[in-house]
Amino acid sequence: MSEQPQTSRRGSPLPWVLSRILGWSPVTLLTGCSATHITFLDPQGPIAQAQRQHFWFVVAMTMIVVLPVIIQTPWILWRYRYGGKAPYRPHWDMSRWLDVMMWGVPVIVVAILAVVLWQQTHRLDPYRPLDSDKAPLQVQVVGFDWKWLFIYPEQGIATMGQLVLPADRPISFQLTSATVLQTFFIPALGGQIDAMNRMVTKLHLQANHTGRFAGKNMQYNGGGFHHQRFTVRVVDDRQFDDFIAHAHRQGQPLDRQRYEEVLVQQGDTADAARALGLTSYQRGEPIRFAPIPRDLFRGIVDDAPFESAVHNPAPHQQAAMHPVAYQALPPKQQTPPKPTLPQDKETSQ
């Protein structure tokens, strides 16, 4: 594979770096309170909020057992230094009472942590739908080398580079990968989950506010890995409808051919935009697709040919409604599948 032209920004970064540093106070550094929310320490949704709380709780609990070590070690060192006056008991090597303490306290700490861990793990299970009176928005996510495709099955559109979500409404993600393992992650909203070829994982998130959040892949998958980022734009309901309408109006049709010639090729979102002829594309902006094949997601998962470009949103018929990702797998195709990969790898070497 050839080099990534985008990464080769050369020239002196120094003056620019200094100007950046001077603008930051430690607090903003820690919370990353920039235009884009980048961390769960600055949570924008219920899941991330609970995770932040749990994080500090674990830190505090472990401090009970860790602080004594950090404080007392220097003290012991000083008091019992060679040549000091403190009592010296070279044969003293056990004490019932201390034994009880040093097993007991950690056991209690771990017991408390374990109880909370059990509850929180269940409560924050990514597969668990969120409680809400609004029906969740279905989003299907497909990971490619090195970009994400977001399919809105109920709306019959798809985007790349930007994920647009309505505020205050639960989102129900289904994820898969058209290539190697990758991990879908929007820190300010909640945890990450793996996306794997031929498999479907699920994730439930919700945003409390409108705003822009960072999203990314966390699992290394090759040279363009660091470019596999996207912006999450959370908007109110009206804007969301506008977005959908806009996509239907302006979207590029997505069919088998485009899928294979653009999406499946290695390259990041900007490369895809270039291949689609979107010359003025800016990173973080959406590439819109509409109409899209109805069984696009499922076709990708099964690596089965999907019907081309029928613009026909079929709400609530998606397999997402089933308790198990989807049950009725068609028999696996008999022929070995075409490699879904750019074959140019070998030849370009």
**273/276 Cα distance (integer angstroms):** 5
Nearest approach in angstroms of CB 174 to ligand CUA is 12
Which pair of structure tokens corresponds to residue 28? 């903003």
Identity of the residue, 170 or 291, whose beta carbon is nearer to another protein in the bound complex: 170
Identity of the residue, 162 or 201, whose beta carbon is nearer to ligand CUA in the bound complex: 201
Q: Which helix (H) or strand (E) holds 195?
A: strand 193-195
User: How would you label 23-56 residue by residue, b for 16+ Cβ within 10 Å and e otherwise?
Assistant: eeeeeeeeeeeeebbbbbbbbbbbbbbbbeebee
Identity of the residue, 176 or 252, whose beta carbon is nearer to ligand CUA in the bound complex: 176
305 binds, among ligand CUA, another protein, ligand HEA, none (CB under 5 to 8 A by kind): none
Identity of the residue, 226 or 246, whose beta carbon is nearer to ligand HEA in the bound complex: 226
Nearest approach in angstroms of CB 183 to ligand CUA is 11
Residue 49 found at the interface with another protein (CB under 8 A)? no
* Nearest one of 333, 47, 6 to 189, comparing CA atoms: 47
- The DSSP bridge partners found for residue 37 are 33, 213
Residue 65 found at the interface with ligand HEA (CB under 6 A)? yes
The binder of ligand HEA chosen from 29, 66, 101, 199 (CB under 6 A): 66
Q: How far is CA 182 from the centre of its chain?
A: 9
Are 284 and 273 contacting, i.e. CB atoms less than 8 angstroms apart?
no
Residue 112 found at the interface with ligand HEA (CB under 6 A)? no
Residues 99-158 that bind another protein (CB under 8 A): 99, 102-103, 106-107, 110, 113-114, 117-118, 120-128
Residue 59, Cβ neighbours under 10 Å: how many?
10
Residue 110 found at the interface with ligand HEA (CB under 6 A)? yes
Distances (CA, A) of 174 to 122, 153, 263, 302: 19, 11, 18, 14
Total residues binding ligand HEA (CB under 6 A): 7
Q: Which residue is nearest to ligand HEA (CB)?
A: 106
Identity of the residue, 89 or 238, whose beta carbon is nearer to another protein in the bound complex: 89
The binder of another protein chosen from 185, 230, 281, 297 (CB under 8 A): 185
Binding footprint of ligand CUA on the chain (CB under 6 A): 196, 199
Residue 106 found at the interface with ligand HEA (CB under 6 A)? yes
Residue 60 found at the interface with ligand HEA (CB under 6 A)? no
Q: Taking contact as CB under 6 A, which single stretch among the options 47-55, 59-67, 118-126, 273-281 is the one that binds ligand HEA?
A: 59-67
Distances (CA, A) of 95 to 22, 77, 92, 102: 55, 20, 8, 11
Identity of the residue, 106 or 129, whose beta carbon is nearer to another protein in the bound complex: 106
Report helix angle 96-123 to 46-79, nearest 10.
160
